Structures are given as structure tokens and as C-alpha cells.
Structure 1
Amino acid sequence: MGYKIIVDIDKCVGDGECVDVCPVEVYELKDGKAVATNMDECLGCESCVEVCEQDAIVVEEK
């Protein structure tokens, strides 16, 4: 089992909250937007979803 992370770049404001809160460093900021560069490390905790005020992140089970 794993997780698929979808970041809506149109909604993302690049504040880096998801980068800061993720316990396994799934995210990086690239060109001012969050990118799930280490998706295979995702634990499915959804901390990123909770801190994203723009609702730009969705975490789904694969």
C-alpha cells in the first residue's frame, strides 16, 4: 500500500506549511509551489492536508 499525493498548483500559494509539517519530507518548494518529490515516503498522516489553508492537497490510498 502507498499514497498518491495531488497538489493543485493553481490553489497552492507556496507558503511552505506542508514542507514544514511533513514528518518524512515528502514536499519541496519549486518555483514557489509545493511539489511532492518523495511521494513514496508518505505515511498517509494527512498533516499536510490539515495545514493547507488553500485546500490544495489531496492524499489518496493507491
Structure 2
Amino acid sequence: METQYDVDFVLMRYAEVMLNYAETANETGDLATATSLLKQIRMRAGIEPGKIIAMVSLRVINPI
């Protein structure tokens, strides 16, 4: 017997959600939140949080 469902869903890792939030915080100037989230992600992964010296925004303002 074959089962089909008409419901599609997206699986997302928690770290991806946290990275999206950190990026948004960084882009809106909330560097404390962005830094905290990055440290939490690294700790969850078993990586030393280390020092985050600066956040740099890399984006193309006016693409040609």
C-alpha cells in the first residue's frame, strides 16, 4: 500500500534559525544580540566561542 500526503513542509535546523536571527540583528545594528547568538551556536557545536572582534557586512549596494 502506498501512502501519499498533500502537505509539504520545510525542515530547518535550529542553528540555521539562530544564524538568520544573528544576521538580522547585525543588519539592524544590534551587535550584542548578533554576537551572543554566534557564541551560542559555537557552544552548541562544541566549538570554543572565542572572541568576535568585529561584524562586517558584505553586500552589493548597487549591482550593475
Structure with a larger share of its residues in strand: 1
Structure with higher Rg: it is 2
Structure with a larger share of its residues in helix: 2
Common topology (TM > 0.5): no
TM-score (normalised: structure 1): 0.29
